[in-house]
Homo-oligomer: A and B are copies of this chain.
Amino acid sequence: MNEKTRRPALAKAGRSSPTLEDLATAAGVSRSTASRAINGGLKVSPEAQAAVDAAIVALGYTPNRAARSLVTRRTASVALVIPEPDARVMMDPYFAAVITGVNEALRETDMQLVLLMSRTGDDSARTIRYLRGGHVDGAIVVSHHRADAWVESLGDTGLPTVFIGRPWDTGSGIPFVDLDNFEGGRLAAQHLARLGRTKLGTVAGPGDMTAAVDRLEGWLQGLREAGLQPGPVVHGDFTTPGGADAARNLFAQAPELDGVFAASDLMALGVVDAVRGAGRRVPDDVAVVGFDNHAILAPGGIGLTTVTHPVADMAEAAGQLLLRAIEDPGQGMDPLIYPPELVVRGSTVG
């Protein structure tokens, strides 16, 4: 009757990105055919496919993810959950490697990475609600402490989830990717023992993280196997200043130490620093072994003897694991354990 009812159509024609309908019209096919052509092109004639392809380019068409997601119940995005309360901890190159690796796994897909950092307890409630709300197709959870048990409940929600680093409760059968941290600690012990070091101190990681606990146990086991007494053990927080503090603490307890194992390279850096600050030489007086094999330049141009920890690769594997889990859910997956290797550098052998 009047022109008012046309308003929506006019508005649509005005700006905004082209819809599938527009695309189909431009290609001279139906919406259905256009849709098929976009999604794999099964049951589409070559001519129709070509027409649609051309129209896509001509119109600069991008499918509306919201609309697609609404009907497919897929969001084409995965969450990377970092339950780290402390911003300072984010500085750890570990997270950079994780992000890089996960991103790499997603590169060839159209999946997007949604970053979920929850710090306060309040936040974690929001996070879990978000994850359960079906806003992502899957989740990768990284570096969680014993207190972060809530993330482990993700296993029950049916949301495909992969952990990077062994979760505290493996009973729920959530797949995870981890380093054989125990073996890594053992390698460090073997190395120092073989060098003839006998008075060994330990800068362990936080006791509420599986990686730290495993490394410590492996290290102690290695010492035992070598017939050595474990010296003092101090826990650090995986940071360099923390490592330095721990080392000072260590030497206060046992000034005669001739070797120190730090459960991370960052802490090892602090250890080296503290050793030198006390007027001792590395490695001559005190040999230092780190963990992670970050490309860190140790002070004085010496390299840091360390245990490899291919975080980026592992994160990428976790991403691929997750993609598989999203493809066909319900299929159980075995944990993926990477073997560590010792890398000998100047901090233990002159």
Contacts and interface: CB of A to CB of B under 8 A. Distances in A.
A32 interface: no
Contacts of A107: 123
A25 interface: no
Contact of A241 (B88, B95, B297): B297
Nearest to A133: B62
Contacts of A44: none
B133 A17 contact: yes
A207 B134 CA distance: 45
Contacts of A63: 133
Contacts of A130: 62, 112
Interface string A156-195: 0000000000000000000000000000000000000000
B299 A62 contact: no
A41 interface: no
Contact of A115 (B70, B99, B300): B99
A87 B313 CA distance: 12
A45 interface: no
A88 B296 CA distance: 12
A135 B300 contact: no
Interface stretch (A223-231, A268-276, A337-345): A268-276
Interface in A135-150: 135
B93 A91 contact: yes
A69 B299 CA distance: 53
A75 interface: yes
Contacts of A113: 114-115
A66 interface: yes
Contacts of A96: 90-92, 95-96
A103 interface: yes
A234 interface: no
Contacts of A77: 114
A203 interface: no
Nearest to A79: B112
Contact of A114 (B66, B112, B241, B296): B112
A276 B297 contact: no
Contacts of A297: 240-241, 244, 269-270, 273
Interface string A102-136: 01000100001111110000010000011011110
A117 B101 CA distance: 11
Interface string A252-272: 000000000000000001100
A297 B268 CA distance: 12
30 contacts: A17-B132, A17-B134, A60-B132, A62-B132, A62-B133, A63-B133, A65-B66, A65-B133, A65-B135, A66-B67, A66-B70, A66-B75, A70-B70, A87-B97, A99-B115, A100-B117, A103-B115, A103-B117, A113-B114, A113-B115, A114-B114, A115-B115, A240-B296, A244-B301, A269-B297, A270-B297, A273-B299, A273-B300, A276-B300, A299-B300
Counting from the closest, the 4 A-B pairs by CB-CB distance are A299-B299, A62-B133, A66-B69, A277-B301
Given A62-B129, A65-B66, 19 more contacts: A17-B132, A17-B134, A64-B70, A65-B135, A77-B114, A87-B100, A90-B97, A91-B97, A91-B294, A99-B117, A100-B117, A113-B115, A115-B115, A240-B296, A241-B295, A241-B297, A244-B301, A274-B301, A276-B300
